[in-house]
A and B are shown apart, each in its own frame.
Chain A
Amino acid sequence: MKYWMPFEWIAAIRFLREGRMQSLLIIVGVGVGVAVIVFMSALLSGLQANLVKRTLSSQAHIVLLPPEEIARPQSPPAGIALRLQKQAQRLRSIDQWQQIQARLEGLPEIAAISPIAAGPAFVVRGDANKAITLLGIDPVRYSGVIALPERMVAGQLRIGAGEAVIGIELAKDLGADIGDKIRITTAGDATETFTVTGLFDLGNKGVNGRNVYVSLRSAQSLLDLVGGVSSIDISLHDIDEAERLASKIAAETGLTADSWIKTNAQFVTALTSQRVSSNVIRFFIGLSVAFGIASVLVVSVIQRAREIGILRAMGASQGQMLRIFLLQGGIVGFFGSLLGSGLAWLFLMLWRLMARNPDGTPMFIIGVDPWLVAIAAGGASLVGILSALLPARRAARLDPVVAIRG
């Protein structure tokens, strides 16, 4: 007998050890439940993080645009019905964008800011021509928002005068490669010839086929935006803050601020409902684990009625009996959660082996977060204690006379 252990712990452990088969079965039961919860949580958060990462690999967290021009009727003559029409937005520069950029630099939530001159254009090479989005960027600033340097698959991210970087999809459409010349024409009939210096793959077919990066200055002159920018891309330290910060910036600057959460509303809603449904599943698994523990302990209280009566006759209090059975629930929950975390780890290893991309790399990396294990252990112990509440109260209130008479 361990001298440091209180009586209740000693009795709880002995009772569990004596009912070896029962204890083992319920611990395995708890373990399977915990394993499913941990595995599901790890899988879901890995999957969602991966989806979000992919989505954001070619998108800024917040995009600032000039305020929308609101069509105003010019004091209409009486009797004529008002006709309001949304004006087609022409390419406009953001007023005083340097000051705005300087002001944003002071916000601690912001990781990077990149002013951009972007607009529609055509690219021509030989017989091939394609509609594109021409983006004039400062490569250093832009890399803080979108990890373009890491996404280069050929050449390099070099956009001096007369140099352009295009996506792999566009390169295929045009039959262009590093060193080839392409001609870019805008709506204002401005034209310039560029040498392709790099090819990128942002993991999005549309973007790979549409985006053409050139220097800010080239884009400004082609798009008739000299000295101006059409948007400011922002990346944040915490992507979940995007919506709050977008509203704040919009209010402060009067610009339109679109967060990725708003731009991808459907996607975000899908993620949220995925989380909600997985929480519902987790809740019900937890509930069935709790009922499992409770039912085993109810049976154990009945089986141990005599021993409970004898202990009471020897001066054990109701509180002591209560704690002995609460502890049994907690211990079963705790060891079940350890087993479950081990099982979940095993499942994840298997998953890693089986779920692979065609090229053999893991589909996405998921690991068992130590925090998740700690939370599972704490949660399962708590669930164990809570589910033991009813049986333990029964044990405490057992009439020793009835119990001893057996």
Chain B
Amino acid sequence: MADLVTNPVLQLTGIRKSYGSGETESEILHGIDLRLERGEFSALIGPSGSGKSTLLNLIGLLDRPSGGQLFIDGQETGQLDDTGLTRLRGQRIGFVFQHHHLIPAFTALENVAMPLLVARGRPDADMFAQAGTLLDQVGLAERKQNLANQLSGGQQQRVAIARALAMSPSLVLADEPTGNLDTHSADDVFALLREVNTRLNTTFLIVTHDRRLAARCDRIIEMVDGDIVADTRHQAATN
């Protein structure tokens, strides 16, 4: 597709978000402009309550902005209804969350295949082969048939990463993916994200409180009180 080549993965112009209405209305994001190029590996940092998760939810089409425009792969999203948003989200965006990543009623393999199953409506051999390959790549070849809650935190997060990649998304959004892990597992998970980024040229936007990890990203976007206050790119940080 031409738009995949010529358009940025993500473009935000004047994105606002307010909660409540009337007297209690409060604006959390005050006109965010942001552009993510294909293959960029960016960190989103900022103090607690600065609006990082709110912004990530908007980018992930889980929520609608109160104002401004949001383009995914060049497609304007303001006009889409819930079905359109859901479809675009399923195909173009992968999520990695801090907590409750997996669906406990399913095995690791089934969890990874889930986005494919949701999109295709019926299971097929191909989706499990694909999910198996992804689990091999995140180093969980031996754990495919484990139920989600029979895995350690770090293992669960790897499964979640494999799942986020199942649909070959343009953009992976990770909200504190290492927030729940010890330093060692956090480094592993981070390295895995980086590895996927270099291998598949997938764009990443990672919210983190860990300055050490942020420093290892190509770009650091810093938010304070609903505004982007700093945006620095540096090549040297690559591992």
Interface residues of B in 101-133 (CB under 8 A from A): 101-106, 110, 114-115, 117-125, 128
Size category, B interface = 35 or more
Contact B122 A313 (CB under 8 A): no
Contact A311 B97 (CB under 8 A): no
Interface assignment of B4: CB less than 8 Å from any CB of chain A: no
User: Interface digits, A87-122 against B, CB 8 Å rule (1 contact, 0 not)?
Assistant: 000000000000000000000000000000000000
Q: Chain A contacts of B110 at CB under 8 A?
A: 1
Task: State the interface size on chain A (CB cutoff 8 A).
Answer: 30
Stretch of A232-240, A278-286, A398-406 lying at the B interface? A398-406
Contact B123 A10 (CB under 8 A): yes
Interface assignment of A306: CB less than 8 Å from any CB of chain B: yes
Interface residues of B in 48-62 (CB under 8 A from A): 53, 57, 60, 62
Q: Chain A contacts of B99 at CB under 8 A?
A: 406
Given A307-B103, A404-B62, CB of A318 within 8 Å of CB of B122: no
Interface assignment of A350: CB less than 8 Å from any CB of chain B: no
Q: Chain A contacts of B76 at CB under 8 A?
A: none
Interface assignment of B95: CB less than 8 Å from any CB of chain A: yes
Contact A313 B123 (CB under 8 A): no
Contact A15 B105 (CB under 8 A): yes
Interface assignment of A253: CB less than 8 Å from any CB of chain B: no
Contact A317 B83 (CB under 8 A): yes
Contact B57 A401 (CB under 8 A): yes
Contact B119 A313 (CB under 8 A): no
How far does the alpha carbon of A235 sit from the alpha carbon of B102 in the complex, in Å? 71
Contact B57 A10 (CB under 8 A): no
Interface assignment of B158: CB less than 8 Å from any CB of chain A: no
Contact of B124 among A3, A315, A320 (CB under 8 A): A3
Q: Chain B contacts of A310 at CB under 8 A?
A: 95, 97, 100-103
Given A1-B110, A401-B63, A404-B97, CB of A315 within 8 Å of CB of B122: no
How far does the alpha carbon of A318 sit from the alpha carbon of B117 in the complex, in Å? 15
User: Interface digits, A1-45 against B, CB 8 Å rule (1 contact, 0 not)?
Assistant: 111111100100011011000000000000000000000000000
Interface assignment of A298: CB less than 8 Å from any CB of chain B: no
**Least CB separation from B56: chain A residue:** A401
Q: Chain B contacts of A61 at CB under 8 A?
A: none
Interface assignment of B86: CB less than 8 Å from any CB of chain A: yes
Q: Tell me the smallest distance from the CB of B121 to a CB of chain A, in Å.
A: 6
Contact of B167 among A6, A14, A315, A318 (CB under 8 A): A315
Contact A315 B123 (CB under 8 A): no
**Least CB separation from A2: chain B residue:** B123
**Least CB separation from A314: chain B residue:** B115
How far does the alpha carbon of A3 sit from the alpha carbon of B127 in the complex, in Å? 11
How far does the alpha carbon of A405 sit from the alpha carbon of B128 in the complex, in Å? 29
Q: Chain B contacts of A17 at CB under 8 A?
A: 105
Given A306-B100, A310-B100, CB of A18 within 8 Å of CB of B105: yes
Given A7-B121, A401-B63, CB of A314 within 8 Å of CB of B163: yes
Residues of chain A touching chain B, judged by Cβ–Cβ distance below 8 Å, are: 1-7, 10, 14-15, 17-18, 306-307, 310-318, 320, 399-401, 404-406
